[in-house]
Structures are given as structure tokens and as C-alpha cells.
Amino acid sequence: MSLDVYLNVAVAGVLTGLVYGLMALGLSVIFGVVRIVNFAHGEMMSIAMYIAVVLFSTLHLDPLIMLVPIAAVMFVFGYVLQAGLINPFITRPEHSQFLLVVALAIIIVNALLIIFGPDARTVQTSYAYDSFELGPIIIDASKLYAAAAAIVVTAALFGFFRFTLLGKAIRACADNYTGALVVGLNVKHLYALTFAIGAACVGAAGTMMTLITDVTPALGPGYTLLAFVIVITGGLGSMPGALVGGVLIGLTEAIAGVLFTPSAKSMFAFGILVLVLLFRPQGILGRRLT
């Protein structure tokens, strides 16, 4: 098989991986600060995807334009969810937290099924079928726009956590919960804000994902699993790790699909996960816990 095929597939894998990375970033942020493992992550992304689809089908609003408003809606959703439902479980045993978010995931999937039905919904933008030709490489326009937006959102998030007071306060909560309480930080509010930021990330990722794939209610659990593979590979709690993990998994799946058989590409993604757990349990960019 010619080199062109590998190049084309690798580019597509990297672009998709960047959007995966943004999705996983939300999971990583939530776990890194709140220490809740959000098993409803993919399902929350499905909600954002459906919002994008409804806005497009009713008002013809392009997902790229609706990126920020949908992320804002998911921010509010995340805040309310954390403040109203998850915060009371923060001090409870992990299995209680697990059951809570798994129940939430099941409710979301079935609510979407009741509201929208099982059929795949899609966003048909004017550029849905466009592609750019760079020599032998054909680049999917939708994937390119989605990946570019993922990079911008991720950069904004890095900036927020590094340079703003609020971002620093959230990091302080993550580093030392008791210390944060002692210096007078409103930890519950900051937790809710963090969960909201994670939800906004997944909202942005979901909005862009509608450019790449169709949405069905059953999509959520698959994306939750994918997000876990990515953050564990990249490093649980590490923001750059999520993006690196996303690209690595996207690229691995793409190349494995060409070299071997596409039906086994997920196996290679899980293979990477197993290798990381064996040789670098904290993930590629994660910190080893002492």
C-alpha cells in the first residue's frame, strides 16, 4: 500500500484525536480537582451533540458558531449538577459516587432515547462534504475545523488555569483540600465551578463532534469509555496529558486500521492502555502519586 494512504489516514487520526482530547480534558479536569470519576461523561457529550443538532435543524445555526453558547449551557448544567446532586456525595464512599454517576448516565441515555428516538441525527453544514487537497493528502474540512477549535478551546483552558485568580484557586483546591479550606476558599463553589468547566469542555467537544459523526442516544457509553482510555493513557488529572492521549489514541486507531484490520483498531487503543498501565501507571504526562 502506498505511503499516501498512510499519510491520509494519519492526518485524519490526529485531527479526530484532537477532538477526542478535548472531550477527555473535561474528564481529567473534573477528576483532577473534584476527585469524582464522571462515568456520565460521554452521555453529557451526547446532550451537547443533541443541542447542536436541534439548533441546526430548527434555526440553521452552524455548530462552530454555537460552540461557545452550547459550552455555556453545559457549564450551567454542570454547575447545577455538581452543586445540587454530586456535592452531597463528595464525602461518601467511592461506590456511592460511582452508583450516582452511573445512574445519571443511564437516565441521560434513556431520556435522550425518549425525546429524540433511536435514529441517528446529523448536522448537514454547507461544508459537510468539503475536503482540502494538499498534494497527495486529502484533509476532511469538518475534521480540520473541529480540531482547530479543539486547540483554541484547550489553549483558553490552559490560560484560565495558569493566569487567572479563579483558575489558581481551583488548582489550590486540587493540590490541598484542607489548605484551601483554611485560607477561606469556598471549596464547594469551586468544585461546582470545576465540574461546570469540565462539562463546558465536553459541551464544546460534543458540538464539534457533530461535524464528524452522527449522534444517537447510544453513543454516550462508548465515548465515556474512550475518554477513560485517553485520560489514563495521557495521565489522569493532567490537562496536556489528555490532549496527548487523544492524539495518540486517534493516531493508533487509524494506523492500526490500515496495517491490520479496521475492525481491530479499538484493540490496539486498548493495547496502548495496557502498556501504559504496565510501564507507566501514572500515564504519559501524569504525576506519580506518593
Among 119, 182, 278, 290, the residue binding another protein under the rule CB under 8 A is 119
Quote the CA–CA distance of 110 and 103 in Å, as a whole number: 11
**Minimum distance, C-beta of residue 286 to another protein, in the bound complex (Å):** 26
Among 84, 111, 129, 281, the residue binding another protein under the rule CB under 8 A is 129
Kindly indicate which of the ranges 65-73, 76-84, 177-185, 258-266 contains the residues binding another protein, using the contact rule CB under 8 A: 258-266
C-alpha cell at 155: 489553549
The distance of Cα 281 from the centroid of its chain, to the nearest Å, equals 21
Residue among 111, 52, 104 nearest 81 (CA): 104
Distances in Å between the alpha carbon of 94 and those of 32, 35, 54, 84, 198?
15, 10, 36, 18, 20
Kindly indicate which of the ranges 23-31, 156-164, 251-259, 277-285 contains the residues binding another protein, using the contact rule CB under 8 A: 251-259
**Is 156 a residue that touches another protein (CB under 8 A)?**
no
Counting residues that bind another protein (by CB under 8 A) gives 42
**Is 2 a residue that touches another protein (CB under 8 A)?**
yes
**Which helix (H) or strand (E) element contains residue 138?**
strand 137-140
In the complex with another protein, the residue whose CB is nearer, 81 or 211, is: 211
Among 84, 117, 159, 271, the residue binding another protein under the rule CB under 8 A is 117
Quote the CA–CA distance of 17 and 253 in Å, as a whole number: 9
Among 27, 219, 269, 272, the residue binding another protein under the rule CB under 8 A is 219
Quote the CA–CA distance of 16 and 118 in Å, as a whole number: 24
**Minimum distance, C-beta of residue 260 to another protein, in the bound complex (Å):** 10
Among 33, 41, 253, 286, the residue binding another protein under the rule CB under 8 A is 253
Distances in Å between the alpha carbon of 83 and those of 22, 34, 261, 283?
24, 12, 46, 30
Distance in angstroms between the alpha carbons of the first and the last residue of the chain: 48
**Is 261 a residue that touches another protein (CB under 8 A)?**
yes
Q: What are phi and psi of 134, to 5 degrees?
A: -120, 90
**Is 43 a residue that touches another protein (CB under 8 A)?**
no
Kindly indicate which of the ranges 11-19, 175-183, 199-207, 278-286 contains the residues binding another protein, using the contact rule CB under 8 A: 11-19
**Minimum distance, C-beta of residue 126 to another protein, in the bound complex (Å):** 13
C-alpha cell at 75: 457549564
Among 104, 170, 229, 265, the residue binding another protein under the rule CB under 8 A is 265
Quote the CA–CA distance of 13 and 205 in Å, as a whole number: 16
Query: Given the rule CB under 8 A, which residues bind another protein?
Result: 1-2, 5, 8-9, 12-13, 16, 109-110, 113, 117-120, 122, 124, 128-131, 133, 138, 140-141, 212-214, 216-219, 222, 253-254, 257-258, 261-263, 265-266
